[in-house]
Amino acid sequence: MTLLFTASRYMFDLRGKKKHTFGSVDPRDDSDIDILSLRSESRQGIWSEALRLVRDIFLIVVVFILFGVFFVQPVVVEGTSMLPQLHDGERLLVNKLVYYKIQSVSWGHIERGDIVVFWFPNDPDKSYVKRVIGLPGENVEVRNGKVFINGTELKETYLDVEHNQSLPSWPSKKVEEHHYFVMGDNRDNSSDSLLWTRSGKVYLRKGFFSLLETVNDRFSRTRRIR
């Protein structure tokens, strides 16, 4: 009896269940699905890479421009006033920030012996490269071909005797505040503070650039210095 009841209930459950069927999908029914071909994907990839390349080149150019304007500038030496240290046609990188000063914050100090690039006092369009000899407040004197600072002979091991045989004597003069006395290493052939002060120009004002290093590479745009 129990067995018949169970079998009858099972058959009733089977009849009561709905039959689920799945129809086939016609390929024409998926015409609204956008499928990109491999060619389209490749074209989009090329354009994306090209845009990234243009962006990177633009950023590099901007960085180089800012670097050249505010930090470093290539220059070319003209003349022999700095022999034997610097030669005619030698290329240099000039550090513009080494002596930069913002209010009371200084990034560097001009020291005796520094090789600096500056604008010519009589003609701001000309740049010169010289060595710092006298500092503000010091007395500079040239006697018998020797330079004296506050009465003490300056030891200049960087000079070549061959290029320093006719340096004229010059009476002791005090370097004013915020001014510097500069000279070329080739004293026999150098236009420097000795001549400029005699012509009525009082030394040189602060704002020099220190040399980073010499390089032999070519630069597309350089500033010529003497």
Tell me, what's the pLDDT at 209?
40
The one-digit pLDDT tens for each residue of the chain (226 residues) are: 444 444 444 444 444 445 545 455 555 554 444 555 555 656 677 788 888 888 889 898 888 777 666 666 677 777 777 777 777 777 777 766 655 554 444 455 778 888 777 776 666 667 777 888 888 888 988 888 788 999 888 888 887 777 676 777 778 888 887 778 888 887 766 665 554 544 333 333 333 344 433 333 333 333 444 4
Cβ burial, residue 212 (10 Å; 0-12/13-18/19+): middle
Maximum pairwise Cα distance, the chain: 141
- b (16+ CB within 10 A) / e for 70-89: eeebbbebbbbbbbebbeee
**How high is the pLDDT of residue 105?**
44
Architecture of domain 73-216: Ribbon (2.10)
CB 129 within 8 A of CB 78: no
d(CA 114, CA 133): 8
The pLDDT assigned to 121 comes to 60
168 contacts: CB under 8 Å, gap ≥ 6: 142, 194
Q: What pLDDT is attached to residue 201? A: 36
Predicted local distance difference test score (pLDDT) of residue 150: 92
The C-alpha atoms of residue 150 and residue 138 are separated, in whole angstroms, by 6
Question: Catalytic amino acids?
Answer: 81, 130
Pairing between β-strand 223-225 and β-strand 72-77 as defined by DSSP bridges: parallel
